[in-house]
Amino acid sequence: MATSLENPDELDERERRALETLLKRLADDEFVLAERYTEWQVRAPTLESDLALANNAQDELGHARLWYDVLGDIGFEERELVYERDPADFRHSTLVERPFEDGDWADAVLRSYLYDAAEEIRLESLVDSTHPKIADRVGKIRSEEAYHLEHAQNWLERLADGDEGHERLQDALDRLFPYAFTLFEPVDPDVEEDIVDLGLRDATLEEMGEEWLSIVVPYLESLDLELPADGRVGDGTDEFEFEVTEEMLPEERGRDGTHTDAWFDLYDEFTRTYRELGRTETTRIMDKPE
Amino acid sequence: MDLDTVKDRAGPREFSPADDLPEEYRKAATRMIEFHANSEIMGAYLERPFIRQAPSIDRKLACSAKVQDEIGHGQLLYRAAESLGVKTREEMLDDLANGDGKFLNCFHYEMTDWVETPMIAFFVDGAAMRRQATLRRTSWEPYAHAMDKVCFEEGFHVKHGEDILRELMSGSKKEQELTQAAFEEWWPRIIQFFGPTDDKSTHHDFAASVGLKQQSNDQLRNAFLDQYIPKARSYGLEIPDEPRIRELDDGTYEVEEGDLDWDEFFTIAKNDYEPGVGQINGRKAAQEAVQWVRDTIESDATAAGGHAPQAAD
């Protein structure tokens, strides 16, 4: 079974659906996050931070392209994956679609941290994927994501040190944390199970979510940031004890096709030229697929 | 060093921060490089929305990279300007925000549609390339040095712009018509990029005499028209009837100055042109919104007793 995943023609429907779902989760997250990051170009606090965030945006966009390109192997074209796709079919977590308030750099670096910490765990679970192309591409992506995480943490630590920065980080955390949980929500529980059973990814969403909490909760607490009180379980002796309950999740989870209004506005903006010029095709997903 | 010595010695990459240069030279060089740096920033400001509006992932990546490059050029140029000891980068950026900083005429206009992107990325950047290539021989060494990197990257921008133009002009009839309309709107501005004719240019004589500027407005405009009129035509663009352009027997061009709107040009030069004012203020508002971050970094640096840390940048 594992070897058959290599050849798109030999995929049965279950395998195909699992592969498509996994790749859309990966690609859509990166694409939409990049789209939001580019809003900081020419608007970041300093020329240096402008250059750094632009770099991260292009990295994420490049990763999105690597994943969309694998979807290309099972017959998808860029226009169906991005420019002509029903916006309600995008599978990204709602964390990445939330708009930035003007000047809210605390949101940008915190969001980056929450995402990149999850991304590291997710990539680790793909290193031994039964799909060779996925396993191959993880290496390149991981080295870049490690830098993003470091970048986010450097900024978090600087901002958390100042009064205004700390206050803004707390605000951003209160707003973003529920959306961040959706990173580990299923597109469809049965398909998610298939993804693991087929060895496309070797950890379940629950396992990854728990690992993520065990990393971000103590880190954010070390910055004197307060986490939602209703997530704390146990007698309080173990400071890493934190659980996400159904009530803590936002209504819009992204993975299941529910999105916040901000996403539909964003989609309208990035498809505007394509629609107005009456385009029916884009350039190829990648010029030289590796 | 007195001014006469400067004029005697003036040559490519002749002067560096190690030289003791007269104030006239340092001020003229600062004005020129600051203008250039500001233009990079305001050009990036104008192009930024098209990262989002790009009609493919490929173009989106290229647009993001281009805007990033322009910010990088600004950073490099402010450093070259700072090294003259007249103004700090902060002063120059503050002046840009409060409307005192000057920048290229073309970046005072609004850009609303994708079909306009090659007007900047191909024609304006192509025009800039011509000027910048000559500036690799400017007498202020840090400026010339910055130009090496800038020219290298601008080459890619012009190719990117040319590729978008080629795509649009080989696209649907609608795309071709919209692109032609954008070209007609931008063409006079692009010609004015090179400023008024030499006999009306105020700063040229001094800048040329101390080796800062290598070619006159007329020479640069001629070289640009010589190269870009055939290119525009080859993609199917029609050169507008106005401004009238005559090709002379010696292969150079003469632009009918009276066909160009010089009132508008000089209004722009004073930062008084309405869309440009909006763009200056738009950038200012965005920068004010993140003032709190700069304050945080600065208090960090003060506490550490040194420069603002760069690691997280």
Please tell me which residue, B204 or A231, carries the higher pLDDT value. Answer: A231
Q: What ipTM was predicted for this assembly?
A: 0.94
CB-based contacts of B153, cutoff 8 Å, min separation 6: B69, B72, B73
| Chain B residues within an 8 Å CB radius of A277 | 55, 114-115, 171-172, 174-175, 178
Residue range A175-202: mean pLDDT, rounded: 97
Cβ–Cβ under 8 Å, residues A239 and A67: no
Confidence of residue B307 (pLDDT cuts 50, 70, 90): very low
Confidence of residue A285 (pLDDT cuts 50, 70, 90): low
Q: For residue A21, what are its two tokens?
A: 């779902």
> Of A266, A273, A258, which is closest to residue A34 (Cα–Cα)?
A266
Surface-to-core class of residue A233, CB atoms within 10 Å of its CB (0-12 exposed, 13-18 middle, 19+ buried): exposed
Instruction: Detail the DSSP E strand segments found in A69-157.
Output: none
> Of A277, A268, A35, A58, which is closest to residue B114 (Cα–Cα)?
A277
Is B312 within a domain?
A: no
Q: Find the CB nearest B75 among A47, A270, A277.
A: A47
Omega within 30 of 0 (cis) for the link into B243:
yes
- Report CA-CA distances (Å) from A27 to A22, A70, A97, B58, B114: 9, 10, 13, 15, 25
Taking CA atoms, what residue in A is nearest to B163?
A: A283
CATH number for the domain that contains residue B137: 1.20.1260.10
Average pLDDT, chain A: 93
Is B305 within a domain?
A: no
Tell me, what amino acid is at A145? E
pLDDT digits (tens, 9 = 90+) for B201-232: 666 689 999 999 988 888 899 999 999 999 99
pLDDT score for B204: 66
Is B310 within a domain?
A: no
Is B306 within a domain?
A: no
* Residue A256 dihedral angles phi and psi, to the nearest 5°: -90, 10
Is B201 within a domain?
A: yes
Is B168 within a domain?
A: yes
CB-based contacts of B151, cutoff 8 Å, min separation 6: B129, B132, B133, B136
SS3 state of residue B211: coil
pLDDT score for A228: 82
pLDDT score for B264: 97
Beta bridge partners of B253: B247
* Virtual torsion, Cα B288, B289, B295, B297, nearest 10 deg: -120
Beta bridge partners of A183: none
Taking CA atoms, what residue in B is nearest to A149?
A: B312
Cβ–Cβ under 8 Å, residues B74 and B80: no
- Report CA-CA distances (Å) from B298 to B86, B294, B304: 22, 6, 10
Q: Find the CB nearest A155 among B290, B291, B312.
A: B312
Is the predicted pLDDT of residue B200 greater than 80, yes or no?
Answer: no
pLDDT score for A140: 87
DSSP B237-290: PPPPSSS-EEE-TTS-EEE-GGGS-HHHHHHHHTT--HHHHHHHHHHHHHHHHT
pLDDT score for A6: 78
Tally C-beta pairs within 8 A across A and B. 155
Q: Domain range spanning residue B85?
A: 3-300
Q: Do A102 and B286 touch (CB under 8 A)?
A: yes
* Residue B238 dihedral angles phi and psi, to the nearest 5°: -100, 135
Average pLDDT, chain B: 93
Beta bridge partners of B15: B140
| Chain B residues within an 8 Å CB radius of A42 | 41, 44-45, 48, 67, 71, 283, 286
Is the predicted pLDDT of residue B306 greater than 50, yes or no?
Answer: no
Is B308 within a domain?
A: no
pLDDT digits (tens, 9 = 90+) for B21-59: 999 999 999 999 999 999 999 999 999 999 999 999 999
Q: Do B292 and A47 touch (CB under 8 A)?
A: no
Confidence of residue A234 (pLDDT cuts 50, 70, 90): low
Q: For residue A80, what are its two tokens?
A: 């169906």
Q: Do A51 and B75 touch (CB under 8 A)?
A: yes
Q: Find the CB nearest A277 among B48, B55, B294.
A: B55
Q: Find the CB nearest A278 among B52, B174, B310.
A: B174
How crowded is the C-beta side of B44, counted as CA atoms within 13 Å?
31
Give the separation between CA B106 and CA B113, rounded to whole angstroms: 15
Q: For residue A94, what are its two tokens?
A: 């709602």
Q: Find the CB nearest A162 among B60, B286, B299.
A: B299
Q: Do A51 and B71 touch (CB under 8 A)?
A: yes
Is B26 within a domain?
A: yes
* Residue B14 dihedral angles phi and psi, to the nearest 5°: -75, -35
> Of A201, A187, A176, which is closest to residue A257 (Cα–Cα)?
A187
Q: How far off is chain A from B112, nearest CA to CA, in Å? A: 11
In the structure, how many helices (H) and strands (E) does chain B have?
Answer: 14, 2
In chain B, the number of structural domains is 1
Interface test with A, best of B170, B296, B302 (most A CBs within 10 A): B296
Q: Which domains does chain A have, with CATH numbers?
A: 3-276 (1.20.1260.10)
- Report CA-CA distances (Å) from A141 to A21, A123, A137, B105: 19, 8, 7, 41
Angle at the Cα of B313 from the Cα atoms of A184 and A59, rounded to 5 degrees:
45
